[in-house]
Amino acid sequence: MRATKPFDEVAIRMYREDPALAAGMLNACLEDGDTEGFLLALRHVSNAVELEARHTDEALRGVLGHLGSKE
């Protein structure tokens, strides 16, 4: 199963916004024995988590940079 770029982007955004949806999709794939679907969903979930971590890191750097500046 090869996903298209728009599908990938939408899935990543949905999983980032709704972790319960991500868990549900992974569980459903496991229950159905859908290895290909599970791996695709896992890739989307890992990308969603990575994006969230990047946003958190950027926000933290912004706050720390602001606190460290002398105005």
pTM of the model: 0.69
> Which one-letter amino acid corresponds to residue 66?
H
If you average pLDDT over residues 48-54, what whole number do you get?
81
Task: pLDDT band for 70, please (50, 70, 90 cuts).
Answer: low
Domain residues for the domain of 17 are 5-68
Is the predicted pLDDT of residue 62 greater than 80, yes or no?
Answer: no
Q: Distance (Å, rounded) from C-alpha 39 to C-alpha 47?
A: 12
Instruction: State the angle between helix axes of 35-68 and 5-17 in degrees (0 to 180), rounded to the nearest 10.
Output: 60
Question: pLDDT of 31-41, one tens digit each?
Answer: 999 999 999 99
The confidence score (pLDDT) of residue 36 equals 95
Q: Distance (Å, rounded) from C-alpha 9 to C-alpha 55?
A: 16
Q: Domain total for the chain?
A: 1
